Structure 1
Amino acid sequence: MIQQFKGFLLVLIGFMLFMPVIAQQDVRVRFLNQYEGPVTEFTLETSAGNKDYITDKEGYASVSLQPGEKAILKATDHDTTSFSIDQLPENKTVVVKKHFSWKDLLNPMFYIIYGGLWMLLLIVFAETGLFAGFFLPGDSLLFVAGIYSSPLANEAWKIIGMDGRGNEWLDLLLLIGLISFAGIIGNTVGFWFGRKIGPSMFRWKDNLLFKKHYLEEAHEFYDKHGGGAIVFARFLPVVRTFAPIIAGIVGMDKKKFAFYNIVGCLAWVVSMIMGGHFLQLWVKNQFGFELKEHLEVIIIVIVLVTTAPVAWKVISGKRKKMAKEKAEN
Structure 2
Amino acid sequence: MVNNLLDWLIGAVQQMNPVLVVLVAGLAIMLETSILIGLVIPGDSVLLVASTAVTSWGMWGGLVAAAIVGALIGESLGYWLGRLLGEPIKKSWLGRKIGARNWQAAENFLQNRGGLAVFVSRFLPVLHSIVPATAGIAGMRYRTFMKWTAPACIIWAFAYVSVGAAATASYQQLSSQLSWAGYIFIAIIGVFLFIVWLGKRWLGRRFSEDIEESDGIEKSDGIEKSDH
Shorter-chain-normalised TM-score: which range? 0.5 to 0.7
Equivalent residue letter for 1:241: S
Residues 278 and 206 (structure 1 numbering): CA distance in 2 closer, same or farther, change over 3 Å?
closer
Equivalent residue letter for 1:308: R
- Cα offset for 1:302? 6.7
Q: Is the 8 A contact 1:179 1:269 kept in 2?
A: yes
Gaps of 5+ in 1: 1-29, 38-92, 98-110, 151-167, 322-329
- Cα offset for 1:310? 7.7
- Cα offset for 1:189? 0.3
Gaps of 5+ in 2: 214-228
Is the partner of 1:122 in helix, strand or coil?
Answer: helix
Is 1:129 the equivalent of 2:34? yes
1:153 aligns with none
2:84 aligns with 196
Is the partner of 2:25 in helix, strand or coil?
Answer: helix
Q: Is the 8 A contact 1:147 1:292 kept in 2?
A: no
- Cα offset for 1:304? 4.0
TM-score, normalised with respect to structure 2: 0.66
2:201 aligned residue (308, 313, 322): 308
Once the two structures are superposed, the pairs formed by residues 1-329 of structure 1 within 5 Å of their partners are: 30=1, 36=5, 116-150=21-55, 168-204=56-92, 209-281=97-169, 289-290=181-182, 291-292=184-185, 297=190, 301=194, 304-305=197-198, 308=201
Equivalent residue letter for 2:51: G
1:100-147 Cα distance to aligned partner (Å, 9 max, x none): xxxxxxxxxxx9999944442232111211213323322343234334
Identity %: 22
Residues 194 and 264 (structure 1 numbering): CA distance in 2 closer, same or farther, change over 3 Å?
same
Structure 1 runs, 4 residues or longer, greater than 6 Å off: 111-115, 205-208, 283-287
Equivalent residue letter for 1:122: L
Structure 1 or 2, whichever has the larger Rg, is 1
Q: Is the 8 A contact 1:206 1:212 kept in 2?
A: no
Query: How many correspondences in the alignment?
Result: 201
Is the partner of 1:235 in helix, strand or coil?
Answer: coil
2:221 aligns with none
Please say which of residues 241-250 and 294-303 is displaced more in the overlay: 294-303
User: RMSD of the TM alignment (CA)?
Assistant: 4.2
Q: Distance in 2 between matches of 1:139 and 1:146?
A: 11
- Cα offset for 1:272? 1.6
Equivalent residue letter for 2:102: Y
Q: Distance in 1 between matches of 2:118 and 2:138?
A: 13
Equivalent residue letter for 2:38: G
Q: Distance in 2 between matches of 1:306 and 1:257?
A: 22
Q: Is the 8 A contact 1:205 1:212 kept in 2?
A: no
Residues 212 and 136 (structure 1 numbering): CA distance in 2 closer, same or farther, change over 3 Å?
farther
Q: Which has the higher strand share?
A: 1
Higher relative contact order (CA 8 A, sep 6+): 2
1:294-314 Cα distance to aligned partner (Å, 9 max, x none): 698569747744653587589
Residues 222 and 306 (structure 1 numbering): CA distance in 2 closer, same or farther, change over 3 Å?
same
Q: Is the 8 A contact 1:233 1:243 kept in 2?
A: yes
Q: Is the 8 A contact 1:184 1:262 kept in 2?
A: yes
Q: Distance in 2 between matches of 1:147 and 1:305?
A: 24
